[in-house]
Amino acid sequence: MRTRDEDKVSLVKKMAIKSIVKDGFEGFSMNKLAKACGISVATLYIYYKDKDDLIISIAKEEGDAMADSMIKNFDPTVSFEEGMRVQWENRYAYMLEHPFSIAFFEQLRNSTYQSRFLDNFMKKFKQIIGEFMNNVVKNGEINSMPLEVFWSIAYAPLYSLVRFDAEGQSVGGKPFKMTDEILWQTFDLVIKALKN
Amino acid sequence: MRTRDEDKVSLVKKMAIKSIVKDGFEGFSMNKLAKACGISVATLYIYYKDKDDLIISIAKEEGDAMADSMIKNFDPTVSFEEGMRVQWENRYAYMLEHPFSIAFFEQLRNSTYQSRFLDNFMKKFKQIIGEFMNNVVKNGEINSMPLEVFWSIAYAPLYSLVRFDAEGQSVGGKPFKMTDEILWQTFDLVIKALKN
DNA sequence: AATATAAATGAATATTCATTCACTTATGAA
DNA sequence: TTCATAAGTGAATGAATATTCATTTATATT
């Protein structure tokens, strides 16, 4: 029996993400994807049941990889500032290594696929981050607050920076490039906001 | 000569936003929009040159309205905390009055229309916000920092909260509803981060 | 009341879409 | 080497897409 060409499979995955990032879901089609990969459309239907399955499958794979790398080296019993630093480091490193992934997730978050993708993704985090929050509140390192408030202060600024960087443009006119210095300058402000 | 039915025009606008918010640009079509409005597709081409023109025109109108209401009562010579409070108030009030607009802009930001829409939108702000930033840095109320860092700390948390509220779901499981208390609790943390 | 004219339409067009199918090709096991 | 079988294909399908057009309708002006 003939064997599946795994290079072809991963090319499909790569091109799908690239295309969705570039043109959004509105500009994405199975025929165009096949053409971009230099294969027949019908082949896509060997790999995936249908278009939804293709998108959801790729989203899950990428989401799992991202979730894993985000909790790498993360010990929820460590101090607040140290724990936050590891998480910012992980997210920043992931973004540098997978420049398209972040933009791909932004597309997913604003699409009808959101719910089917986000549940799976959050499951990986929820427990470990919840444990971390409990600890630092109990230690008196930060005040108790709704999880959404914490998230909005602790991570939203990072994602905002990543986005400015990806767009290469700014609120003003000049192009913006993220640097280590800018990242940790922002981090310090976030710690100042949250730490007692 | 027959007169244009302005009710029909504004119905088109309302339904277009509603549809894009609900199903994204990938689920939006001229034929479906016409059907949803109970008019002929051809009528849409009387109001707008083509699909792009429809989307961009509506985006610009909504964007201008939002920009206006955001700088309402805003005096760039006022103190840092006072200026920030007015801006948060304005954004929050706008979000309550126009629940679909914010979601519509999120869609635009993640679409190929982004650049054509954002330039127009930002023009309204840039000057007045830049003036405000200059003042508060000169007064020594906050430290000098890249505009993107400021933006990411000062406003990203608010938009994140608005988003949690719109989705009605959370990082965890329970539904989230924004309240005045939560808004100003988050605001205080932001001020703590930025103020010297 | 008559008329000129823009608004509004229903039905068409050509194109692109997701998906299927009859067929060919490569390869692990015999 | 043969053969069973899954991988891979080119061309087709019908549905949905954006846009156009010949025609009808309403109304502001005369």
Span A57-93, pLDDT tens digits: 999 999 999 999 998 999 999 999 999 999 999 999 9
Residue B119 pLDDT: 79
Kind and range of the H or E run holding A84:
helix A80-97
Q: Which phi-psi region, left, alpha or beta, contains residue A168 (left: φ > 0; alpha: ψ -120 to 50)?
A: left
Nearest nucleotide (C1') to alpha carbon of B29: D17
* CA gap B41, A7 in Å, rounded: 45
ipTM of the complex: 0.90
**3-state SS assignment for residue B195:** strand
Report the pLDDT value the prediction gives residue A171, as an integer from 0 to 100. Answer: 58
Instruction: Indicate which of B110, B116, B148 best probes the interface with A, i.e. most A CBs within 10 Å of its own CB.
Output: B148
Length of chain B measured in residues? 196
Q: B156 vs A157: CB contact, 8 Å cut-off?
A: yes
B73 touches chain A (CB under 8 A): no
B35: left (phi over 0), alpha (psi -120 to 50) or beta: alpha
Instruction: Return the pLDDT at B167.
Output: 83
| Cα gap B133→B112, rounded to integer Å | 31
Cβ contact B43 with chain C strand, < 7 A: yes
**DSSP 8-state assignment for residue A39:** S
Contact by Cβ (8 Å): A101, A159: no
Residues of A in contact with B146 (CB under 8 A): 176, 182
The nt closest to B25 (CA vs C1′) is D17
A129 pLDDT band (50/70/90 cuts)?
confident
- Domains identified in chain B and CATH numbers: 1-47 (1.10.10.60), 59-194 (1.10.357.10)
Q: Residue B99: which pLDDT band, with cuts at 50, 70 and 90?
A: confident
Neighbour count for residue A61 (Cβ, 10 Å): 11
